[in-house]
Amino acid sequence: MAKSTHRPSTRKNYQHSEDPVFYTHNYGLDLQQNELYLVGREEYAFGYGEMSPEPGVEYTMANQFIKNIRMMQMHSAKPILIHMKTCGGMWEEGMAIYDAIAACPNHVTVLNYTHARSMSSLIPLAANRVAMMPHSTYMIHEGTFGFEGTQKQLRTEYFETQKSMDEMLNIYVRRLKSQGKYKAKSMDWIKSHLAKMMNDHEEYYMDAQQAVDIGFADLVFGGDGVYDWKALKAA
């Protein structure tokens, strides 16, 4: 009698579609709870065999997030909660994330951990609600730019960075005109004031409550000692 050539599979049969732990840790996606995780990924420093600092907002993060938020809005019309923990990063990739949030028809809340600074201070402003963890901070600055190329290319890049700077300020201004202690001021005044703040301090930091008072955030989550997750996620 010939021996069977069939071999049992050694691969584990995970039911990934029913395993929120797998998707949360590997893809930053929890369809059961309608929650996304926008966090910097760990990576090994090339040639050193050790972990490098968080790279912040970059193309891998943006690509994954765009797919995740599209999957979530097609999965359910329920409100979405985004847990954000990133040190900031690339302008172009951050604006791709910003646009994906702005285009989402679901009610979106961004909950910030550690710091919302540089690019990650802009991303939450595309959401319907911005919440700060009690010990997180908010920072705005003009950004850091680097370029290598010809003199003509340098001139072109300079004007492109100026346009990016103007758009950044416009996003901040629209937010502060709608809420916070400067909302009664004109948009020109707010823009000039923000530019002065960044120019005087280079990097202007606010604690969680200051971010709410100025208007960048809506609330400090747990600031009163109560962490009401149901209310935070509600539209």
For 24-133, where are the E strands, in sequence order?
29-30, 35-39, 80-85, 108-112, 115-117, 129-132
Which superfamily is assigned to 26-143+204-233 in CATH? 2-enoyl-CoA Hydratase; Chain A, domain 1 (3.90.226.10)
The pTM for the full model equals: 0.86
Element at 203 (helix H, strand E): strand 203-207
pLDDT band at 145 (very low <50, low <70, confident <90, very high): low
Look at residue 142 in the predicted model and tell me its pLDDT: 81
Q: ∠ CA(164), CA(170), CA(176), 5° rounding?
A: 140
Look at residue 50 in the predicted model and tell me its pLDDT: 64
Phi and psi for 224 in degrees, rounded to 5?
Answer: -100, 10
What does the domain layout of the chain look like in residue ranges?
26-143+204-233
Contact between residue 81 and residue 232 where contact means Cβ atoms under 8 Å apart: yes
Pairing of strands 203-207, 129-132: unpaired
Compute the mean pLDDT over every residue in the chain, rounded to the nearest whole number.
Answer: 87
The mean pLDDT value for 90-97 works out to 95
Buried b (16+ CB within 10 A) or exposed e, 93-119: bbbbbbebbeebebbbbbbbebbbbbb
The mean pLDDT value for 137-153 works out to 80
